[in-house]
């Protein structure tokens, strides 16, 4: 069985690292994102995810600079996402140093995009990023366009389709839990992990190391990710991994 992974996530807006709370990105944490890689390298992380949440593409060049800077200093696999709407864009991110690319809005609007990317670059490069939110009936629904647009798609059904169309991994984020510090949406994670055979990365809501353990033990996730908690040096992934090992989890 593959070892479980611990993944820090950097949310980038206009070239700066921002805090994410309910998919609102107003609080700048770092103006120089590349410096965060130094901490992550020291902390022995398994992977890094970098997501561009800018409201438009006017400053896309800044994000390209972040990706290229990360790739030069990063010692672990790098997944990059945000504003990926074509195979040309995916190719550019891979050439800049990304190992995998997360696709979201374009994949929902044009599902064959997943297959196109998988065919050209391989399933292992394609990560289906899914942002989910409960509707009024409590059913998990897929949202796109940085969490602003409901789609009517049920999250579990879309996860299955993403796998069928060629995604090699799912990056699952709960809008309801994002930045709430009450732990993962374990019910959602469990339903998705039971519905697909590809790895699922859990995201959204981590405040304690116990939340990471719950994502794997109770949610069944193959990897657990967090953003806000790792913005501060005292919250090192080394400490997180030590806690997870003590809980009996086989982490890398």
Q: What's the mean pLDDT in 23-45?
A: 70
pLDDT of residue 14: 86
Q: What's the mean pLDDT in 61-80?
A: 91
Q: What 3-state DSSP class applies to 48? A: strand
Q: In this structure, how many other beta carbons lie within 10 angstroms of the beta carbon of residue 245?
A: 11
**Residue ranges of the alpha helices (H) in the chain?**
34-42, 60-73, 87-95, 105-109, 112-121, 155-164, 186-195, 209-217, 237-246
Gyration radius of the chain's alpha carbons: 16
Q: In this structure, how many other beta carbons lie within 10 angstroms of the beta carbon of residue 247?
A: 15
pLDDT of residue 232: 61
What is the distance between the alpha carbons of residues 192 and 189, in angstroms, rounded to a whole number? 5
The single residue listed with the structure tokens 């990471």 is: 212
Report whether pLDDT(37) > 80: no
**pTM recorded for the entire structure:** 0.94
- CB under 8 Å to 136, separation ≥6 — which residues? none
What is the distance between the alpha carbons of residues 131 and 207, in angstroms, rounded to a whole number? 19
pLDDT of residue 20: 75
pLDDT of residue 18: 83
Q: Please check whether residue 99 is in contact with residue 77, taking contact to mean a CB–CB distance below 8 angstroms.
A: yes
Q: What's the mean pLDDT in 3-9?
A: 94
Report whether pLDDT(149) > 70: yes
Q: What's the mean pLDDT in 228-249?
A: 83
Report whether pLDDT(55) > 90: no
**What are phi and psi for residue 126, nearest 5 degrees?**
-105, 115
As a whole-number percent, the residues of the chain with pLDDT over 90 amount to: 68
**What are phi and psi for residue 107, nearest 5 degrees?**
-65, -35
Q: What is the end-to-end Cα distance of the chain in Å, rounded?
A: 12
- CB under 8 Å to 53, separation ≥6 — which residues? 11, 12, 13, 18, 20, 23, 25, 82, 146
**CA-based nearest residue to 79, from 56, 108, 104:** 104
Residue 39: is it exposed, middle or buried by C-beta count within 10 angstroms (0-12/13-18/19+)?
middle
As a whole-number percent, the residues of the chain with pLDDT over 70 amount to: 93
Query: Taking the CA of residue 190 as centre, how many other CA atoms within 13 Å lie in the half-sphere pointing to its CB?
Result: 8
Q: What 3-state DSSP class applies to 175? A: coil
Q: What's the mean pLDDT in 92-103?
A: 98
């Amino acid at each position: 069985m593959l070892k479980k992974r611990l993944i820090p996530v950097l949310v980038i807006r206009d070239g700066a690292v921002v805090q994410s709370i309910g998919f609102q990105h107003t609080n700048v944490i770092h103006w120089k994102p590349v410096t965060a890689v130094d901490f992550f390298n020291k902390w022995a992380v398994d992977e890094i995810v970098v997501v561009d949440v800018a409201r438009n593409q006017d400053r896309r060049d800044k994000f390209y600079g972040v990706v290229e800077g990360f790739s030069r200093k990063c010692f672990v696999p790098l997944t990059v996402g945000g504003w990926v709407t074509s195979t040309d864009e995916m190719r550019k991110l891979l050439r800049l140093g990304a190992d995998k690319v997360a696709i979201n809005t374009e994949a929902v609007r044009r599902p064959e995009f997943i297959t196109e990317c998988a065919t050209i670059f391989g399933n292992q490069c394609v990560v289906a990023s899914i942002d989910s939110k409960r509707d009024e009936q409590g059913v998990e629904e897929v949202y796109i366009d940085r969490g602003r647009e409901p789609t009517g798609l049920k999250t579990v059904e879309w996860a299955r389709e993403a796998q069928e169309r060629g995604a090699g991994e799912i990056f699952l984020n709960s809008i309801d839990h994002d930045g709430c510090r009450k732990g993962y949406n374990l019910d959602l994670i469990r339903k998705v992990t039971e519905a697909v055979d590809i790895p699922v990365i859990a995201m959204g809501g981590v405040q304690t190391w116990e939340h990471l353990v719950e994502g794997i033990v109770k949610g069944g996730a193959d990897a657990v990710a967090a953003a806000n908690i790792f913005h501060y040096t005292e919250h090192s992934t080394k400490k997180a991994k030590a806690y997870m090992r003590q809980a009996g989890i086989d982490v890398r």
